Amino acid sequence: MTQKYTITVAGGGSTFTPGIVLMLLKESSRFPIRKIMLYDNDPERQKIIAEACGIYLRENAPEIEFGYTDDPKEAFTGIDFVLAHIRVGKYAMREKDEKIPLKYGVVGQETCGPGGIAYGMRSIGGVLEILNYMEAYSPDAWMLNYSNPAAIVAEATNRLRPDSKILNICDMPIDLEEKMAGIAGLKSRKEMQVGYYGLNHFGWWHQIYDKAGNDLMPVIRAYIAENGFPVSAEQQVDDSWAHTFKMAREVYAIDPETIPNTYLKYYLFPYEIAAGLDPEYTRANEVMDGREKKVFSVCREIIEKGTSSGSNFEADAHATYIVDLARAIAENTQERFLLIVPNEGAIENFERTAMVEIPCIVGKNGYEKICQGKIPRFQKGMMEQQVNVEKLVVDAWIEGSYQKLWQALTLSKTVPSAAAAKVILDEFIQANEDYWPELT
């Protein structure tokens, strides 16, 4: 008999949950599902998403058991996988992460720079909590974590729970690889084999081959030098994302040997980017007025009508990598993924204890790393600065240290001075009093 899997989605009230649930359903011939459980610590928010997903599942896959809860024991007992996408503090806090630095002319972004540091200080506890529940109630389960800021979360989980069954993964390289496959005339990123090194939201492709071993870098580099990353007709992106994809051209120009992750723009052009952002209306506002409103209004409509037929519920096509990853573990597929893992020599001339993003082969017993050799001085210099920011944030969280967090902000390439770091930190502390550990 085919094995069927039980999955808990942590952060059940997330705007991404309906897309993930529908994607799981669409992929169920590859990855059969017995039960989907949603878990969130905000029951009111989750109820709207969960009731709508419940109606959809009853109508389209009545054989799949479905439930939702804010009770950890009920959520995490008897499961095979946790898909974790929590946002501690929700969009209200993301708005503060972005707007506080911008008041001082410093880039305000979800995962990069001061905003990412503030978000990291909130996320560490939330992700550890989910991991603890999973280990208490389903010790054999795996957690596939894509909660942000993934770099800081991965550093914390590796430091505090080194033996836990958690894989930290990000969808940005996947999206960019799809774009590059398109540039090279391939149908899918799965037809490429890549070499990549970096930290999360801070990395570079240095090799891209097709299945026959032909070098695709020249054609992709030529395209990006001219255009940045393309946006396909069916990919509807907000203006801020369109700007990011286009700006890859400027980021690429700094090192034309490699292809950069788009998030590097925040570190390489921090002042130009900050100057172009509206301190009164940031990406958080764009999402609250856009995706969040849309997802919740579709869910409310489904609930009111009592049916999902004719609704705008859509599977998240990009999220199929989550099923690929779960299958790699469940069925030992030995597929390659970019994961955020302890370096331990995989990047030869870089700190051994760093959590680096590199290609790995994933199977039943976890991952094997694919060595990326020595990296160039420019990337090494940038990564050394950034990895120490991330390590200092985790130190600050563990030790409750104001000093270390001030150092982290000061060291960030996005922050111009220790003075700017201090005013931003002091405002962050007030804004995050319900979420951060006390800093002394």
Binding-site residue positions for Mn(2+): 170, 201
Choice between 407 and 432, CB closer to ligand NAD? 432
147 binds ligand NAD (CB under 6 A): yes
Q: Which two tokens stand for residue 7?
A: 């999955």
- What is the per-residue DSSP string for 326-348? HHHHHH---EEEEEEEE-TTSBT
Q: Do 229 and 176 meet the contact criterion of CB atoms below 8 Å apart?
A: yes
Choice between 171 and 286, CB closer to ligand NAD? 171
Task: Kindly indicate which of the ranges 141-149, 238-246, 324-332, 392-400 contains the residues binding ligand NAD, using the contact rule CB under 6 A.
Answer: 141-149
207 binds ligand NAD (CB under 6 A): no
CB of 214 to ligand NAD, least distance (A): 29
Q: Is 209 noted as a catalytic residue in this protein? A: no
150 binds ligand NAD (CB under 6 A): yes
313 binds ligand NAD (CB under 6 A): no
Q: Which two tokens stand for residue 245?
A: 């994809």
Positive or negative CA dihedral for 242, 243, 249, 254?
Answer: negative
Q: Is 263 noted as a catalytic residue in this protein? A: yes
Rounded to whole angstroms, how far apart are CA atoms 389 and 369? 24
432 binds ligand NAD (CB under 6 A): no
253: left (phi over 0), alpha (psi -120 to 50) or beta: alpha
148 binds ligand NAD (CB under 6 A): yes
Residue 221 DSSP class: H
Task: Kindly indicate which of the ranges 28-36, 84-92, 366-374, 392-400 contains the residues binding ligand NAD, using the contact rule CB under 6 A.
Answer: 84-92
Choice between 295 and 389, CB closer to ligand NAD? 295
Place of tokens 């069927």: 4
Contact characters 165-184, ligand NAD, x per CB under 6 A: -----xx-------------
* 433 to 122, 170, 430, 436: CA distances (angstroms): 10, 28, 6, 6
CB of 317 to ligand NAD, least distance (A): 13
109 binds ligand NAD (CB under 6 A): no
CB of 332 to ligand NAD, least distance (A): 24
Rounded to whole angstroms, how far apart are CA atoms 264 and 204? 9
Q: Which two tokens stand for residue 411?
A: 């060291």
User: Which of 133, 196, 252, 263 is flagged as catalytic?
Assistant: 263
Strands (E), 177-221: 192-199, 202-210
Return the residue of 8, 38, 40, 251 that touches ligand NAD, per CB under 6 A: 40
Rounded to whole angstroms, how far apart are CA atoms 83 and 302? 24
Q: Do 169 and 337 meet the contact criterion of CB atoms below 8 Å apart?
A: yes
**Residue ranges in contact with ligand NAD by CB under 6 A:** 10-11, 13-16, 40-42, 45, 85-88, 90-91, 126, 129, 146-148, 150, 170-171
Positions annotated as catalytic residues are 171, 263
